[in-house]
Structure 1
């Protein structure tokens, strides 16, 4: 039964669950961003709100979709496999106490140092005192969300370790629905948009916690002694900081370029944010979903020391990620301007804003395959509880991002900053892959199917390029091109296309 749960098919089904939840969340999240762009545009008010949201968003990516959740999943799975369910339950209770205490302390420190945080996040805004003060006020309103996201990340990790993926997948949807409702109320009732969204963020965080607890209410690990001392919790704490830094390199890169963007023209921060949100859409559906789904299986295989199966599962995850991310990146690059026009060019968000943001989106899309592949590769390290190499690769990523960002923004402005993030992402991805192979993990060399996917993605780009002159109407070609891509590969007996069709069939039977 265990080997069946660790098969690539079962992992793909779990990834499909995560991806479905992510799809719903990203759709509602895009609606949220469309409303923000329409109500605030891409000017100083939007800059202030995005700076205020940067810390909560960073913590959400760091923990709920990254390091804390992944580390908890790997550690709890390892302890349960080796020492049994009762020992794992004791570890969960201890870690919960530490999570509440640490994130409460972070909240207090952040509230007292909010001005310092605002100055670090966007040092260039200090040259506009009104915008800076507004950003600081909004930031203090969002900071209570930190405690909520810490709890969501921990509880999601526990659920993932038990191969329950529904509640964690739906948690971002709950948050985005709350934010959309808040934006709607602000618009209808003529309330301050930014302030209403900050309050909605905290309310959404509380609802996310309640959702995870609802799915865990019948679990037996709540019963038993509660203590702050646990050897495995201490070991988890020691590895958490490097895991945090390595697991959210992309988000840290975006924070760094946001700092650099604060020295650019007003509105650059907002445009970078909207371009980033569109890249996050396919990234969440592909890279994050596969990385989350593959981690519990890899953790079990690491405990059993089945190196061959471990390498096969990880190689399959990387190849499936490339199968989906390569055409997505090419299509997003070619159709960047129509996509920006469709989603954001209305209200206070002008045609000039859309044109500038589309160049940033193109630069981000160049790194999309690297960002996506990094997720399963990191899961390969987390499953072995190895955070040293991801930290090293992440450090190189950030160094490349900062140096190239400072250079590129002189030539291409905000688009140069986005390009710097993509360059850093490829450095991170290549280092993770090469060093994983040196550790003896039998990841297959890039095979013929990866080359086929790259070639087919070129044809995807040509088809999209042919449609570009039709403007926003060109987006109608996306489902046609996607079906053509998958259909051709299915006829050509691509294992990943066949797997995708089987997943669709199984999902259809369930419903």
Structure 2
């Protein structure tokens, strides 16, 4: 599991670094005017559809079904061909709608923009360029699911790197296009084709048969569609929770949206490197074991994933809560982004840190259900947690501002993770880390965090004095390594090398 996690996390880290470089080039090339807004809108539309349809929902419905069929030697090739056929038909219909009725689609999805706006023709043109990217990403999701089902993770994790490289390359050649926005849009489209080509080659090298699309409804295909509906609703509910922050933040003082954005950039980094990567690794594993009826194996996989989340998440959360504002100062304080903005973003990041460990565990906990083909239970629990989340945002935002939004997010995530953990335990899907070692690990992290807060000013002054010139980045790196080392040693002592495992099958 650690080897697979290292592959996905390492390539995700490369993608995130290149993504940051892409943002730097994008900002330098497009600026922040109407042209930049036109591209951002054209880029976000297919990505919103991708987040709801192509990635999370499709993987949850298709990957476990295909992995179980492939493991039990059912006709997985027929399943793949039929799913690819319906996927292609749906994407072609959506693409025809987007290209033929772009103005109507923009009026529905971006009501703040009208044909009277000066940027309207550019938005329409850029949307028509970027929207086929959704079709490419649907094919990427399909091929990634098949590869992940065979424990091939490198190529799917590498695919997002191509998006950043193609966009950077296109922006560097912006003089060859009508505008820099056109260059960025064509870079997005070209990257989609390149990602599909990469995964086709990877599938061929892995010995996976590339199915020819066909329209059929075998029992396995019907099962995928039964699972797809709740999975789409789950992805949609997550997008609603994210969108609520944007809506409420518009009623807060100026700068709140920016403070949330920069804090979220750091908050999402460990979630992508650990939480999402773990979910990617264990979902096909649980799906295969479900096909074999290996309940003990599925339980062991989920137990180990949760231990990894706990061991990694506690020290990272401590670092975010105690030194997050310092990290934001190092990364973003320049130009119009001043120290006051860094302090505001740091406070938001500290509120996010309170829910980091549950956030890391979410994808693994959901995989416990999705791997068995149950997409309804996570949806039911998510609806309850989302109601709590949004209610708290409405209550806390007027009192605490953007920090209240982040705090409500942490509480909502914690509620969702707790409900998922409880349901997994009730169904016998996991044993969970032993309470005493887990409690000792959390207590050690809290104690370490209090010590860092108590000694922070003196330690920072001392380290900055010892590292003149490169004081900020070097000092932060040294302290982060020290925190991770101390907490890692504590983890090894209190948790041990292996998680506790069930000595039998829990009663249901």
TM-score by length of 2: 0.83
Correspondence for 1:89 among 77, 93, 97: 77
Deviates further, 275-284 or 446-455: 446-455
Superimposed CA distance per residue, residues 411-436 of structure 1 (whole angstroms, 9 cap, x where no aligned partner): 33333323332222112111111112
Answer whether contact 2:84 2:213 (CA < 8 A) is retained.
Answer: no
Q: CA deviation at 1:383?
A: 1.1
The equivalent residue for 1:230 is 218
Q: Give the number of aligned pairs.
A: 479
Residue in structure 1 matched with residue 505 of structure 2 by the alignment: none
Q: Are the equivalent residues in 2 in contact too, given 1:42–1:348 (CA < 8 A)?
A: no
Alignment match, 1:202? 189
Distance 2:441 2:31 in 1: 38
Alignment of 1:217-256 (within 5 A): 217-218=204-205, 219=207, 221-222=209-210, 226-246=214-234, 250-256=238-244
Structure 1 unaligned runs (5+)?
1-10, 498-511
Deviation of 1:296 (Å): 1.8
Identify the residue that residue 279 of structure 1 maps to in structure 2: 267
Equivalent in the alignment of 1:505: none
Structure with the larger RCO, 1 or 2 (CA within 8 Å, 6+ apart):
1
Structure having the larger proportion of residues in helix: 1
Question: Per-residue CA shift, 1:177-221, capped at 9, x if unaligned?
Answer: 2333345555x9999655543433222222221211111135452
Q: How does 1:33-432 map to 2 (within 5 A)?
A: 33-36=23-26, 52-62=42-52, 65-84=55-74, 87-110=75-98, 111=102, 112-119=104-111, 141-185=129-173, 196-218=183-205, 219=207, 221-222=209-210, 226-246=214-234, 250-264=238-252, 268-432=256-420
Say if 1:278 and 1:103 are closer, same or farther in 2 by CA, change over 3 A: farther
Q: 1:117–1:380: structure 2 CA closer, same or farther, 3 Å change rule?
A: same
- Partners of 2:64 and 2:178 in 1: how far apart? 44
How far off its partner does 1:67 sit? Answer: 2.6
> Which of the residues 10, 16, 19 maps onto 1:29?
19
* Structure 1 equivalent of residue 472 of structure 2: 472
Greater shift in the superposed pair: 273-282 or 216-225: 216-225
RMSD: 3.4
CA distance in 2 between counterparts of 1:483 and 1:306 reads 36
Report the CA distance shift for 1:100/1:253 in structure 2 as closer, same or farther (over 3 A): same
1:483 and 2:485 matched:
yes
- Aligned structure 1 segments of 4 or more residues deviating by more than 6 angstroms: 38-48, 128-137, 188-191
Cα offset for 1:20? Answer: 1.3
Instruction: In structure 2, list runs of 5 or more residues that go unmatched.
Output: 465-470, 500-508
Q: TM-score, normalised by structure 1?
A: 0.82
- Separation of aligned partners in 1, 2:489 and 2:157: 28
Asked if 1 retains the 8 angstrom alpha-carbon contact of 2:441 and 2:494, the reply is: no
Cα displacement (A) at 1:247: 5.0
After superposing the two structures, state which structure 1 stretch, 472-481 or 46-55, moved more: 46-55
Cα separation, 2, equivalents of 1:451 and 1:55: 43
Task: Give the conservation status (yes or no) of the 8 Å contact 2:72–2:292.
Answer: no
Give the distance between the partners of 1:269 and 1:202, measured in 2 at CA: 29
Structure 2 residue matching 1:222: 3-state secondary structure: coil
Greater Rg by CA: 2
